[in-house]
Amino acid sequence: MLAAVLSEVGRPFAIERIPVPQPRRGEILVQVAACGVCHTDLHVLKGEVAFPLPAVLGHEISGTVAALGPGVAGPAVGTRVVGTFIMPCGECTACARGRDDLCGPFFELNRLRGALYDGETRLQRDDGTPLAMYSMGGLAEYAVVPETAIYALPDSLPLEESAIIGCAAMTAYGAVTHGGETQPGDQVVVVATGGVGSMVVQVARAAGASRVIAVDLGSEKLDAARRLGATDVVDAGVEDAVARVLELTGGGADVVFEVLGSERTFTQALAMVRDGGRLVAVGIAPAGVTAPVEITRLVRRSIHVVGSYGARVRADMPVILGLVESGAISPAASLTRRFSLGEAAAAYAALDRREIVGRAIVVMQA
C-alpha cells in the first residue's frame, strides 16, 4: 500500500510503498477513503510536539472495513466506518469510569511511542524498519484501528467528508458538552475558527447557545463562520478583539473556547470570560508554551479554566453521529479543500500558511 511517511522533522512527507498492516486481537483493518488534515499533525511535522520517527501521521479517517482481527465480531467486512483519534483501550482506570479521553495506554503507548496496546506498531517498511503510528496512521491506504475506535457510518452520510467526524467533530462536541458545559441561552465565543473551531461554532449552536461570536483573522474565515452559525464575528486583525467581545456580550461571555493554542489567544480568551464563566482550552500548543493568568481575578471572580482534549468516545460517538445524521451539525460544511495522498505534503504546507479555511481532507483514491 501507499503511505505518507515522515522521516525527519521539518521535511515533507514522502510517499512510500509499504506492506499492508494486519489486525491483531481486538483490531480492525480499514481501507481508508479519506483522512483529515489537522493542525496537531502539523505540530509533529514541525517538531513542536515530540513523536518517534519515522512515522505515519493522520488521525481522523473514514473508510470501509477490510478485515477483522481475532475476537472482533464487527462491523462486518465492507461496512462504511469512521475512526476516532482517541482510541480507548477500554480497560484502564480512566476508561472504566467513562473517561475515554484520559485513557492511559493511549497516551503512554500511542502518543509517546507510536504503538498500539501490545506495545508494537502495525506499520513497517519492506526492510522491517518500524513506522510509528500517530493514532491509527491514517495517511495511508490501509490502517489498523482498535475496535473501540471504529463506528459504522449511517448510510445517509457521505464517506469521504465524514472523515473529520473522528477528530474535528468529536473534539468540538467534547469541548462544548463536557468542557464548556454549554447551556441553552449561553453567550459563547470561539477564538480561532479552523477545522475544530468551525465545528465548535456548529456544536454550540446545536446546544442552544443564544450568541456565538467567532474571533479570527480575515474576512474569508469569518464569513465561513457566519455560514456555519456564528451570530457575530470579530476580526482580531483590525480591531481590539477583547474590547469588541466585551461590548457584544455586555461584559463577557458565559463560555469562551480557545482553539488555536497560543499564548496570545489564550490570554485574550481569558479576558473575554464573564465573572463565573468558563474558558475552555482546546488548541494544542507547541511543547513548553505557557500563558500568564491573573490569579486574583481567577479567584475573586470565580473564573473556571478547563482543558478539553476530546469527547468520551464510547458514550459520545453515537450521539455525535446522531447529530450529524439529523443535520444538527454538518462536518461536510466545514470542509473546503481536498488533496490526493500524493499531495499530503502540500496539504500541510497550505495549513501551515493558514490558507485552509475550515478543514481539508486527503483522499486516497484521486
In sequence order, what are the residues at sequence separation of 6 or more whose Cβ sits closer than 8 angstroms to the Cβ of residue 182? 176, 188, 204, 207, 208, 209, 254, 255
- Residue 68 C-alpha cell reads as 477483522
Spell out the domains of the chain, with CATH numbers in brackets. 2-166+330-363 (3.90.180.10), 172-307 (3.40.50.720)
| d(C-alpha 359, C-alpha 339), whole Å | 11
- Find out whether 191 and 257 touch, Cβ atoms under 8 Å: yes
pLDDT at 366: 53
Burial class (CB in 10 A: 0-12, 13-18, 19+), 106: buried
Tens of pLDDT along the chain (366 residues) come to 999 999 999 899 999 999 999 999 999 999 999 999 999 999 999 999 999 999 999 999 999 999 999 999 999 999 999 999 999 999 999 999 999 999 999 999 999 999 999 999 999 999 999 999 999 999 999 999 999 999 999 999 999 999 999 999 999 999 999 999 999 999 999 999 999 999 999 999 999 999 999 999 999 999 999 999 999 999 999 999 999 999 999 999 999 999 999 999 999 999 999 999 999 999 999 989 999 999 999 999 999 999 999 999 999 999 999 999 999 999 999 999 999 999 999 999 999 999 999 999 999 985
User: Number of helices (H) and strands (E), helices first, in the chain?
Assistant: 12, 18
Q: In 270-358, which ranges are E strands?
A: 273-281, 304-307, 335-340
pLDDT at 274: 98
- Find out whether 55 and 131 touch, Cβ atoms under 8 Å: yes
pLDDT at 152: 98
pLDDT at 365: 82
This prediction has a pTM of 0.96
